[in-house]
Structure 1
Amino acid sequence: MTDISADDEMLAHIRATVSPDTEYRSRLLHELKATHIVTPADEKIADELEKMVAHVLAGNSTEGYALTITGKSGAGKSESLNRCLDAHPSFKPFEGKYNKLSLSLRAETPPSTTLKSLGKELLISSGYEVAVNGDPDENWRTLIQRMKIMQTRILVLDEFQHVLDAPTSMKYMHLSNSIKALTNNKGWPIWLVIAGVPSIENFIDRDPHKQLDRRAPLVEIDDLKNEDDDRNRVEDTLYALIECCELSLGFVLTRDFLLRLMHGGIWRFGMTVHIIKNAIEKALWDKDWSRGRGKLTKEHFIEGYSRLARNCSLETNVFHVDEWHLIQREVDDKGRLVDAVSIKSRRKRAS
């Protein structure tokens, strides 16, 4: 008899108790999540990772270096980075002769990062099951030993801007020096991949000895532009995501709608895709939905945008108003659209 995990057992229970339509929709949601749209950033990141792996394979490096990936919140940098890492065969963990081996160790940098909190996060990510020590320096030494045991050569830290938000300058210096020291760790140099908002470039700039500066390639993920290439990319993305969920577009796709969509996503590809996925989810649960006959409508975009913008009013919903270009929003640290300025407010300011 094959053992079944508790998670698998619960999923089997859910599958057996929900309606056939709910189970069917769950498959479509899985496809929606799994569908990744290749972007120009993917090629740049994949190329830099390939170079990094080549340096590791060469075996003659006495020190590693840092690859920095930057983009505004919602630009899609985490999605691109994770896809490139998952797609590269060398980054897949495997069972070695004595224990699990992994070329890289990945973690999302926790808010208000300290050496203690980051060390704990990385030890947990490495599968370390022993109680974490109260001494942050001891944890860091344990982490280095764990990386040696797992043959880990590359440390990937997402949301790296949290390092810059260390509670005090002393804790920041302790943390940043510990991270940088990994690259020239005697006998076991570590390569870094750090991803975050543009301010993380300061991590390199703040190095008083410029030890990382001369060997720190930078990949910048730019905003979308009102140009043919970007409009076509958004259009292709929309149709690809609709197709994977067996929907059809219930309205004529115009240049104005594409610009409205890109503006709603504050001209960032990841945020724009997020709006499309929200609208598709609304369409899948529309009362008129049926298998293979569902339609994605403008109303679904109004609802999907509202969900991302914390239930915004119709007056500040870019998919509802005619003068959508007058509505401006930003992104908070949870990836939600906030700080809308309505058309009415802008007119008052102008008068």
Structure 2
Amino acid sequence: MRDLGMDDFANSGPKGAKALDPKNQRIFDLMARVRSTYFKTKNDDELLVKLRRIERGIQDGREPGHALIVMGESGAGKSTIVEKALKSLATLKDYDDGYGNEMRPILYVIAPPSCTMTDLAAEILERLGYESASIGRGASVYHKLQRSLKNYGVRLLVIDEFQHVLEAPKIKGPAYVTNTMKNMLQDKSWPVHLVLVGLPEIEAVVDRDPAEQMERRTDPLTLANLSFKEDGEYVEWIVNTLVEDRAGLRMSSDQPHEFVERLMHGARSRFGLIMHLITYAIEDALEAGHDEVSTENWIEAYARLAKSKGTDDNVFAEPAWRSIIRPVNRDGSLGPVAPIKSPKKGRK
């Protein structure tokens, strides 16, 4: 556990804007402390091992590019773990080339919804500083992208939410996405390594290559969810650390029975959702002016994540909480509780 840089949160409002009132400023500061605290899981070490392989391949210079596919369900915390791990690649930090140009060995982009390959290329160029009006369309955008990746020294391209690329309507067929990715890896003049991050279906980018070249250059990693048996004590420690050490609050004595199990069940054992519930509960307590986090705050946190105000389908309020099972939407929010089907009555 360590802070990710409190300066990133300080004075982040619009310049010239009126300052927050003292109460809201206190909440802002405490929530910044809470949200900036990083907790490792069993996925961190495995991801870093695979990224180190890519880092060594880049240093070698003789190898073609490789792709790491990081997959996980909605709410698993994929983006957070990848962003944290990338900071550990010391040889791939931004640097000045000696002529006043900033080189960007790692470029991180988020694929927009329903993103075609042309849209993705344009998004990458915008991240490199190009004005959208000057990017162009069609084949010219790919030539500009190829030159720009080399000009900016990009060796590792990270594409988050990659499922958006696979979901977009394809005029040229689904294999076109795979071929474009493969060409980036195989470019002899400037091979680029890839990290593709998204939902489990993004592994289809490998299946769409009939020559199976993509498979040889791809390393998949599926992020594992937590389990109460193995991780329950760790989750309890995270709760106490954030509530007490980071927010300066206390856990009230009225915590619901089997609290940690309820928390993990309500978050579908997905680390990102667990963290959301904890931060929501802390924020609710601070907004109410309380000095402790109570059952009431956990109920409100779950209702906020599920966008539901009822308590009969709330895991922190309902005695039969194990029967409350919600799907996780693609945006990481909780969906409605699935109705329980009653058994059909047979004829008498």
TM-score of the aligned structures, taking structure 1 as reference length: 0.88
Which segment is superposed worse, 190-199 or 174-183? Answer: 174-183
Aligned equivalents of 1:324 and 1:231: distance in 2? Answer: 17
1:136 Cα shift? 3.0
Instruction: Provide Cα deviations, 1:108-131, integer angstroms capped at 9, x if missing partner.
Output: 111112022101111111122362
Q: Which one of 312, 335, 338 corresponds to residue 338 of structure 1? A: 335
> In 2 relative to 1, CA 162–130 (structure 1 residues): closer, same or farther, beyond 3 Å?
closer
> In 2 relative to 1, CA 129–332 (structure 1 residues): closer, same or farther, beyond 3 Å?
same
Partner of 1:260: 262
Residue 107 of structure 1 aligns to a residue whose secondary structure is strand
1:107 Cα shift? 0.7
Q: Which one of 109, 114, 130 corresponds to residue 112 of structure 1? A: 114
Q: Which runs of 5+ in 1 are unaligned?
A: 1-6
Please show how residues 92-131 of structure 1 align to structure 2 within 5 Å: 92-98=93-99, 99-129=101-131, 131=133
1:348 Cα shift? 4.5
Which segment is superposed worse, 80-89 or 193-202? Answer: 80-89
Residue 131 of structure 1 aligns to a residue whose secondary structure is helix
Please show how residues 216-227 of structure 1 align to structure 2 within 5 Å: 216-227=218-229
State whether residues 302 and 319 of structure 1, in contact with CA within 8 Å, keep that contact through their aligned partners in structure 2.
yes
State whether residues 166 and 172 of structure 1, in contact with CA within 8 Å, keep that contact through their aligned partners in structure 2.
no
1:11 Cα shift? 5.0
Aligned equivalents of 1:84 and 1:101: distance in 2? Answer: 20
State whether residues 75 and 269 of structure 1, in contact with CA within 8 Å, keep that contact through their aligned partners in structure 2.
yes
1:212 Cα shift? 1.7
State whether residues 232 and 260 of structure 2, in contact with CA within 8 Å, keep that contact through their aligned partners in structure 1.
yes
> In 2 relative to 1, CA 9–279 (structure 1 residues): closer, same or farther, beyond 3 Å?
closer
Q: Which one of 301, 321, 326 corresponds to residue 324 of structure 1? A: 321
State whether residues 178 and 206 of structure 2, in contact with CA within 8 Å, keep that contact through their aligned partners in structure 1.
no
1:236 Cα shift? 1.8
Runs of 4+ in 1 over 4 A off after TM superposition: 252-255, 347-351
Partner of 1:89: 90
| C-alpha RMSD over aligned residues | 2.1
Aligned equivalents of 1:49 and 1:224: distance in 2? Answer: 22
State whether residues 107 and 121 of structure 1, in contact with CA within 8 Å, keep that contact through their aligned partners in structure 2.
yes
State whether residues 115 and 136 of structure 1, in contact with CA within 8 Å, keep that contact through their aligned partners in structure 2.
no
1:247 equivalent in alignment to 2:244: no
Residue 337 of structure 2 aligns to a residue whose secondary structure is strand
The number of residues matched between the two structures is 333
Partner of 2:33: 31
Partner of 1:197: 199
Partner of 1:3: none
> In 2 relative to 1, CA 264–185 (structure 1 residues): closer, same or farther, beyond 3 Å?
same
Aligned equivalents of 1:90 and 1:11: distance in 2? Answer: 35
Residue 340 of structure 2 aligns to a residue whose secondary structure is helix
Aligned equivalents of 1:104 and 1:171: distance in 2? Answer: 29
Aligned equivalents of 2:241 and 2:183: distance in 1? Answer: 44
Q: Percent identity?
A: 31
> Counterpart amino acid of 1:202?
A
> Counterpart amino acid of 2:340?
R
> Counterpart amino acid of 1:319?
F
Aligned equivalents of 1:171 and 1:11: distance in 2? Answer: 47
State whether residues 55 and 89 of structure 2, in contact with CA within 8 Å, keep that contact through their aligned partners in structure 1.
no
Instruction: Provide Cα deviations, 1:191-219, integer angstroms capped at 9, x if missing partner.
Output: 11011111111111211111121232222
Partner of 2:80: 79
Residue 69 of structure 1 aligns to a residue whose secondary structure is strand
Aligned equivalents of 1:255 and 1:45: distance in 2? Answer: 35
Partner of 1:10: 14
